[in-house]
Amino acid sequence: MSSSPPIVITGFMGSGKTTVARTLSRALNCELVDLDRFITEQTGRSPKEIIEQDGEPAFRTVETDCLRTVLAGELAHVIALGGGAWTIAANRDLIHEYNALTVWLDVPFSLCWQRISASGGKRPLARERDQAHSLYLSRRPLYELAGLHIEANEGLSDQEAAARIASALTQR
Ligand code: S3P
């Protein structure tokens, strides 16, 4: 287990988890792990490919395995989850075992959708606006379980979001 607890960033697809996590990891001078990227490196396939070829349940198994590996790593780190990872109870239990600071980047659906649709079909679970919106609404109560809630609309810069997280860390 790493010496200082990890910071785990969650939020819907298109909420800017990776960008905020990168800014934060630079500010704290610690390692950043983007779980989707880690999955791609470990399996040779992107989350999109795994979901399309093997289905979502198979992807969730891979995701949990990779999350376990990342959390067990030696270095203190900032972890950006994929948007569905936190919604799985087993993943939340795992994250709690490591005493992580968990952060929900709460971004309005319109902004998430703008980014999702601009990313060109990268997200198989959000192909249609209505489908994505239902998922967004159904996941909110689960994101609310995160320790720190950051309302991140267009008015909040990545630096400001990262500064809020860093400040919450010092108050733990
Ligand atoms: C997913 C979000 C994606 C990726 C996969 C499933 C989800 O990550 O893990 O397509 O269920 O919300 P991003 O949140 O980085 O898009």
Extract the tokens encoding 169: 């860390």
Which candidate, 166, 136, 117, 115, places its Cα nearest to that of 7? 166
The mean pLDDT of 137-155, rounded to a whole number, is: 95
To test the pocket of ligand 1, the residue of 36, 62, 115 to mutate (highest count of ligand atoms within 8 Å of its CB) is: 36
- Position 73, amino acid: G
Distance 37 CA to ligand 1 centre (A): 11
DSSP labels for the chain? --SS--EEEE-STTS-HHHHHHHHHHHHT-EEEEHHHHHHHHHSS-HHHHHHHH-HHHHHHHHHHHHHHHHTSSS-EEEEPPTTGGGSHHHHHHHHHTT-EEEEEE--HHHHHHHHHHT-S--GGGSSHHHHHHHHHHHHHHHTTSSEEEE--TTS-HHHHHHHHHHHHHT-
From the CB of 36, is ligand 1 less than 6 Å away? Answer: yes
75: pLDDT strictly greater than 80: no
pLDDT at position 21? 97
Q: pLDDT confidence of 1, banded at 50, 70, 90?
A: very low
From the CB of 34, is ligand 1 less than 6 Å away? Answer: no
In sign, the C-alpha dihedral spanning 100, 148, 85, 9 is negative
- 2-6, 7-11, 24-28, 33-37: which range is least confident on average? 2-6
129: pLDDT strictly greater than 60: yes
Q: Whose CA is nearest to atom 12 of ligand 1?
A: 83
2: pLDDT strictly greater than 70: no
From the CB of 16, is ligand 1 less than 6 Å away? Answer: no
For residue 70, with 0-12 CB atoms within 10 Å meaning exposed, 13-18 middle and 19 or more buried, which class applies? Answer: buried
From the CB of 123, is ligand 1 less than 6 Å away? Answer: yes
pLDDT at position 153? 85
Is this structure's pTM higher than 0.85? yes
From the CB of 6, is ligand 1 less than 6 Å away? Answer: no
What's the rounded Cα separation, in Å, for the pair 37 and 40? 5
Distance 111 CA to ligand 1 centre (A): 16
pLDDT at position 154? 83
- Position 16, amino acid: G
From the CB of 125, is ligand 1 less than 6 Å away? Answer: yes
Distance 85 CA to ligand 1 centre (A): 8
The mean pLDDT of 55-65, rounded to a whole number, is: 98
The mean pLDDT of 123-141, rounded to a whole number, is: 97
pLDDT at position 3? 62
CA gyration radius for the chain? Answer: 15
pLDDT at position 171? 86
To test the pocket of ligand 1, the residue of 9, 13, 66 to mutate (highest count of ligand atoms within 8 Å of its CB) is: 13
Q: What is the pLDDT of residues 91-116, one digit of tens each?
A: 999 999 999 999 999 999 999 999 99
